[in-house]
Amino acid sequence: MSTRMATESKETRALCKRMRDVGAVTLSIVGSVEQGAGWPDRYLSHPLLGPGGIWMEFKSCTGRVKRIQRERLEHLRRTGARACVGRFVPEGLRLETPDGSMIVDLDLDQPIRLIMKGIYDSTCRKA
């Protein structure tokens, strides 16, 4: 169980650093006028995350998914991409569908390769 409850941005950076340390690509998405609003915070790619990688919108325990973010995640999923919300909760990282339904809780204190495999295993099924 994760005893860390820092800010969303600190938790996101720490998790992404752990992923990069084992060779993952962690692309930070920053909104711009040309690209439009609502894109997920990160695109993550690594063999353990499965073919095509995954789009993730990270949120704190109490953070709200904005309507435009939910719509963007749903659109990505309709096009065949894997996309979900990663919510930092006291138990670790909770993966959720765009509408807020829980997929799985992952313990952030376990080895990063197990976390990444858990992300893949829980999101490769249509939730």
What tens digit of pLDDT does each residue of 73-120 get?
Answer: 999 999 999 999 999 999 999 999 999 999 999 999 999 999 999 999
pLDDT tens-digit series, residues 25-73: 999 987 666 677 899 999 999 999 999 999 999 999 999 999 999 999 9
- The H-or-E segment that residue 26 falls in is strand 25-28
Domains of the chain by residue range:
8-123
Tell me, what's the pLDDT at 31?
67
pLDDT reported for residue 36 = 74
What pLDDT score does 84 carry?
A: 97
CA-to-CA distance for 61 and 101, rounded, in angstroms?
Answer: 14
Class of domain 8-123: alpha beta
- Alpha-carbon distance of 83 to 65, in angstroms, equals 13
pLDDT of residue 23: 97
Contacts of 120 (CB under 8 A, 6+ apart): 48, 49, 50, 54
The answer to whether 108 and 93 are in contact (CB under 8 A) is yes
User: Can you give the pLDDT at residue 32?
Assistant: 64
- The structure tokens 């690594």 sit at 46
Mean pLDDT confidence for 14-24: 97
| 1 has pLDDT over 50 | no
Using the predicted structure, report yes or no on whether residue 2 has a pLDDT greater than 50: no
| Residue 124 confidence (pLDDT) | 79
